[in-house]
Amino acid sequence: MPITDIVIVCVITFAFVIFAAALAWGDHQTREIARASRQRTLSTANVGSLNRSAQAESAEPKAGARTKAPAQV
């Protein structure tokens, strides 16, 4: 096989390797974005549920807390 053919095959192979690396890097970045978005959604949902439960607890008297007795007539 002549040297020029070897060089051409190496250049084409190198181009495919670079292309595969770019695709792998893009896939990695997409998965990181999806993971971060999922974590942000979960943390926002957890904070919302914590806020609702805190509001519900503040509306209800706490166990063992003294409350005023109803006025007797």
Residue 65 has pLDDT above 60, yes or no: no
Q: Mind spelling out the 3-state secondary structure of 7-57?
A: HHHHHHHHHHHHHHHHHHHHHHHHHHHHHHHHHHHHHHHHHHHHHHHHHHH
Measure the CA–CA gap between 55 and 69, rounded to whole angstroms: 24
- The pTM assigned to this predicted structure is 0.48
Give the pLDDT confidence score for residue 36 in this predicted structure.
81
Residues 16-37 have pLDDT tens digits of 999 999 999 999 998 888 888 8
